[in-house]
Structures are given as structure tokens and as C-alpha cells.
Chain A
Amino acid sequence: MASKNESWDLKATKQLYQEYLNRSLKGQKRKILPVETVEIDDLNKTEALTRIREFTESIIEKIYQNGRPSIFLPSRTTGNIIWDEENDLLLLGKQIMEKQFHSLASVADMTRLMKVLEKVNELLLKDLHATKREIFYSAVTLFGDQKNSDKCIEDVASMLYTTRNSTHIVASAKGSCVGRLRIRDRNDIIDLEGLGGGGWTISPMLDNIEIIESDAEFILVIEKDAAMMRLAEARFWRKYPCILLTAQGVGNVAVRMFLKRLSKELNLPVFSLVDSDPYGHYIHSVYLRGSKRLSYESPFLATPKIKLLGVLTRDLDKYKIPNSVRIPMNKQDIKRTTDLLNEDFVKKNKNWEEDLKLALKLKIKAEIQAFSSHGFEFLTDRYLPEKLTTGDWI
């Protein structure tokens, strides 16, 4: 079914890119967040250290004043998560909670929190980065379980009103990127076209990374490593100038932050290629407007202009995907699809809502690999180029 002779000019993608460029020439509108949400900053090392010093000074002052210090930090409960329709982001509301040092209930929690703050201070002073796991191992007895140290890490970032990356506590390297992009990692220039099919492992130490050159015309985020391999083997970016990126599932902080940087600095159209199932749609939604857990960081992690290129439920019939490779939805899939349909950001996007409703009606799902039933090259020679040419995305 796939023919190597078919030629696709990516007309719709180029048009979208031109629209972005025209818009940027007119001047980018500064993103204004709703007043009822918490605003956080991406800080450099010096700024982060200053913020820690100010924070500790305020605690010392409280000790001098009444001997009963406490800290205030934004509440990260579900009730305090707000969907900002204008910017299509999940953000943290202004509910504040108080944690007291002298309460028996919170003393362990406070000690852990202060330990993480001490570690963050050390990392910033030494200009080092650590993973969440390393933070846990820095005081195993105190934390008891990594869940506790992970929670404190997020508390410290939100307490300082900054991103987790600004605290130099980073996610472990997970995703990879390949294609028409050159970056600087401290004193090294890395060519992402010259690293073989495996590409560049996205560094969690993004403060060391800078984009220096690109002649790409779009970015494609791929859910699965297997699909990434297919595209890398075909050297997809040579024929269709692009940057390919995968997180092998849900994008972690580093992958999402890197995608955000690429999208913002290069101003390129961004597309996602995920399985045609509720989990794939959820992955797309996390790139699009952030996750609930890290809603306070959404402005630095979400890519609101990302388009869902596929695999859409309607594609299954359009591309004659045989019934043998379609999978019936299970109870959990149906529940997840229903949950997604109840989300405000889905309700707002009629095309998306329609596709999810169709999935629910047909009760089927399919993986990206289902296209292999038409030949291994179908994905790279027909499906993707055709969709990028016709603009068939959500």
C-alpha cells in the first residue's frame, strides 16, 4: 500500500509554520496568567540561592518574633488546580497552606522539608545536579520512603515559587531526540543528525543546554520507542525536515521542558503521534496543557500549540486498518475515555471530543504499529507525510 514514489509537499504544515512566523513578526503576545493563579519563575543559580536566603531569613525572623515559625506554600490539592482556558494550561490556584514547625503532626514533615532545602542549597552552591533518587539516598533514615522525599522536593520548588529544574533536582534521563537540530551542552556542540538512529538522550540538566542551529520545519513527538526507531531508520528528517522526539511513554519533566524550549525558541509546529487509545490521548494532553501533579510548573512544561496528528480513531477506517490489528477496549479504557471526555479542555475542542466519542462508540483501540499491516514503510512513506500535507490533525 505504501509507495516510495508518492510525493508529499507538507503544504498544511508549511502553512502553519508560516502563520507562526507571521504572528511572531507582529510581536508575541506576552502570556498573562489569570490573577487567581500562582505565578512561578524559572530561576538561574544565583537567583535561586537568593530566594533560599530570603526564605530562611524570613523563618529566622519569625523565630525571633514569636518562637513559633511556620512556612506558607501553595496547596497542590486537586481542588486548587485551575484550567486556564485562555492559555490552555492547568495551573495552581492561590490556596495557601501553612506548615508549622512546632506541631507534633508536622515535625517530621518539616525536618524532611528543611533537609531537602539544605540539599538544594548545596547543589546550587556547588553547581551540581542530583536526581530525586539521590536526594532520597542522601538521608534514607529521615525520609524512610522515596515518596516522602519526592513530595518534599515538589514542596520546596513550590515554596520557593520556582520550577523543579531551578532547584537543580532533575529527572533521570529518559527521552531521546534526533533530527535537524544542533545544540550546545556547555562547551560541546552536538549535532542531532549525526548520532545514529538512537539520537541524543535528552539531558535533564537543561540549564546547560542551548539551541544553536536548526533548519527543521516541524517537531514530531512520538509516544513509542518502536515508532521512533522506524522513523530514525528511515532517516525521516532528511526527506521531511523535522526534529523527532520520544519520551517512551508519558513525557517526564526533562522531555516536556525540552519540547517547550524547542517550540518556544524555534517557533515550529509541534505534532504528537500516539497510540489510538485513551492513554495515548492522555499523553498528548500532558504535553498540551501539563499534568495535574505538576500544575504549578505548567507554564514551563506545557506546549499548548501541540497538535494531535494521530493515530486518530477516524484514521483506522480511513487507512483501512484491518480488524485483526484493532484491539477491543477494556473496562479501564472505557473509563479513561469517559474521564477524558469530561475534561474541560476536551469539551472545548470539538474535533477531539468527536474522535474520543467515536472511539467510545466503536469500543476499539489500535497501536501505532498497526500501520505495519500495510508494510513497514507505510508509516513513514504514506501515513505521516499525507497527514502533514493535508492538515488532518486535531
Chain B
Amino acid sequence: MRIFHKKDGGIVQLIDKDEIKEWPVELPLIFIEYIRKNKLPNYNDKNVEKEIEQYLDDILTEIAIPRMISVLDGDDETEIKTVLERIDDLAKKKLELVQPIKSYIEKLDKKSSKKDINKVCGSILSTFIKEENKKKLAEKRKLMRQIEQEFLEGKISDKDYSKARKEYLIMKE
């Protein structure tokens, strides 16, 4: 176990990096996210939080990402498909976790001629597109509220308003 000493004398222990190397390929990402979200805020020690953040970053760059990439870059189609399916699940639950491997999935989608692999790649990439659209829509919604306010105040014409409204509805659909 990796030991982190708190100022109040308390100790936090995290599993050693070497053990994580043996895990299923998608699990290190889940672990990193779990500790960041659920544990870090509760340690009540800025120094320990910083040290653990660094440790988690190391796990991400040294283990999690390289392991996924090495599978995606490999020739074992069964393994690639299994990993892609896990990434697909993960993307649907927590998209930001798989953000660093998006470019590899795009590359694989272009490179592969296997239908089942393209299908999963497409599913992952469509999750990214949906997320991007969601973000764009949220921005547009915000802008639309502003335009509505300005329209009510008579600052913009009904023509400009209806144009903006039409764009918003198209995007929404």
C-alpha cells in the first residue's frame, strides 16, 4: 500500500501502482474517479489531497491510458472489442473519463474494417457527439433567454427574435 501522512497524525493508504497494473483495463479509470470524487474531499488535509492528486495523475498517465491505448493499437480483435465495449459503458456513465482516448477511437474507427468494431466505435463517438450537442444546446438556451429578455424590452426586432428561436428549435430537435 502507498502511505500518505496527514498533519493530524492520521494516515491514508492507497493500493500500490504495481497492483493496479494487473486490473481489468477500464478499472484504473473508475478507481481514479472514485477516489477523486468520494474520498479526496473527506481527508481534510490539503497536503495529502495534493499528494494523492499527483499519485492519481501518475496512475492515469502511467497505467490507465497506456493500457487502453496498447489494447486499441493491438491486433487482438476480440480483446479490442471487449475493451471497446467497456469503454462504451464507461462513456455512457462518465464521459470525461474516456476523453483522453477519444482520438484513438476515431483512428481505430477509420482503420478497422470489422463491422462489430466499427459499431462500438460509432456508439462511443456518438456519445461524445451527444455530449457536445448537449453543451452547445445549454449555451444556446442561455443565449435564448437573453434574446427573449431583450425582445421583451424591445431591444431586438421580431424578425431577429424569430430567427434565433428557429435556430434554437432546430438544434433542440
- Which residues on A are within 8 Å of B, measured CB to CB? 14, 17, 21, 182, 184, 187, 189, 191, 210-215, 217, 241, 265-267
Contact call A21/B35, Cβ cutoff below 8 A: no
Which A residues are in CB contact (< 8 Å) with B170? none
Please tell me if B129 contacts chain A, counting CB pairs below 8 Å: no
Which A residues are in CB contact (< 8 Å) with B19? 210
In the complex with contacts A189-B31, A266-B1, A214-B38 CB distance below 8 A: no
How long is the Cα–Cα vector from A21 to B12 in the complex, in angstroms? 13
Contact call A189/B1, Cβ cutoff below 8 A: no
In the complex with contacts A191-B38, A265-B1, A217-B30 CB distance below 8 A: no
How long is the Cα–Cα vector from A214 to B43 in the complex, in angstroms? 11
In the complex with contacts A213-B12, A213-B39, A266-B13, A21-B3 CB distance below 8 A: yes
Q: How far is the CB of A156 from chain B (nearest CB, A)?
A: 28
Please tell me if B11 contacts chain A, counting CB pairs below 8 Å: yes
Which A residues are in CB contact (< 8 Å) with B38? 191
Q: How far is the CB of B19 from chain A (nearest CB, A)?
A: 7
Contact call B27/A215, Cβ cutoff below 8 A: no
Which A residues are in CB contact (< 8 Å) with B10? 215, 217, 241
Q: How far is the CB of B97 from chain A (nearest CB, A)?
A: 14
- Interface of B (DSSP majority class): mixed
Contact call B15/A213, Cβ cutoff below 8 A: yes
How long is the Cα–Cα vector from A210 to B1 in the complex, in angstroms? 11
Which B residues are in CB contact (< 8 Å) with A241? 10
Which A residues are in CB contact (< 8 Å) with B14? 212-213
Which A residues are in CB contact (< 8 Å) with B24? 187
Please tell me if B34 contacts chain A, counting CB pairs below 8 Å: yes
How long is the Cα–Cα vector from A210 to B18 in the complex, in angstroms? 13
Within 8 A of A (CB), among B45-98: none
Please tell me if B154 contacts chain A, counting CB pairs below 8 Å: no
Q: Count of chain B residues with Cβ under 8 Å from any Cβ of A? A: 20
Set B15, B23, B34, B43: member contacting A215, Cβ < 8 A = B43
17 new A-B contacts, CB < 8 A, other than A184-B27, A211-B15, A215-B13, are A21-B3, A21-B11, A189-B30, A189-B34, A210-B15, A212-B15, A212-B31, A213-B12, A213-B35, A213-B39, A214-B1, A214-B12, A215-B10, A215-B11, A215-B12, A241-B10, A265-B1
Which B residues are in CB contact (< 8 Å) with A184? 23, 27, 31
Q: List 5 A-B contacts (CB under 8 A).
A: A191-B38, A213-B14, A213-B35, A215-B12, A217-B11
Which A residues are in CB contact (< 8 Å) with B15? 210-213
Q: How far is the CB of B121 from chain A (nearest CB, A)?
A: 22
Q: How far is the CB of B150 from chain A (nearest CB, A)?
A: 48
Q: How far is the CB of B9 from chain A (nearest CB, A)?
A: 6
How long is the Cα–Cα vector from A211 to B44 in the complex, in angstroms? 22
How long is the Cα–Cα vector from A373 to B15 in the complex, in angstroms? 43
Which A residues are in CB contact (< 8 Å) with B39? 182, 213
The 5 closest A-B pairs by CB, nearest first: A212-B15, A215-B12, A214-B13, A189-B34, A213-B14
Which B residues are in CB contact (< 8 Å) with A214? 1, 12-13
Which B residues are in CB contact (< 8 Å) with A187? 24, 27
How long is the Cα–Cα vector from A214 to B12 in the complex, in angstroms? 6
How long is the Cα–Cα vector from A9 to B172 in the complex, in angstroms? 59
Q: How far is the CB of A134 from chain B (nearest CB, A)?
A: 27
Contact call B9/A14, Cβ cutoff below 8 A: yes
Which B residues are in CB contact (< 8 Å) with A215? 10-13, 43
How long is the Cα–Cα vector from A184 to B26 in the complex, in angstroms? 13
How long is the Cα–Cα vector from A318 to B14 in the complex, in angstroms? 40
Q: How far is the CB of A27 from chain B (nearest CB, A)?
A: 15
How long is the Cα–Cα vector from A215 to B2 in the complex, in angstroms? 12
- From B35, which residue of chain A is reached at the shortest CB distance? A213
Which B residues are in CB contact (< 8 Å) with A21? 3, 11
Q: How far is the CB of A175 from chain B (nearest CB, A)?
A: 22
Q: How far is the CB of A319 from chain B (nearest CB, A)?
A: 28
How long is the Cα–Cα vector from A359 to B31 in the complex, in angstroms? 50
How long is the Cα–Cα vector from A184 to B31 in the complex, in angstroms? 9
Which A residues are in CB contact (< 8 Å) with B31? 184, 189, 212
- From A213, which residue of chain B is reached at the shortest CB distance? B14
How long is the Cα–Cα vector from A310 to B125 in the complex, in angstroms? 60
- From B34, which residue of chain A is reached at the shortest CB distance? A189
- From A17, which residue of chain B is reached at the shortest CB distance? B11
Q: How far is the CB of B55 from chain A (nearest CB, A)?
A: 11
- From A24, which residue of chain B is reached at the shortest CB distance? B3
Q: How far is the CB of B158 from chain A (nearest CB, A)?
A: 55
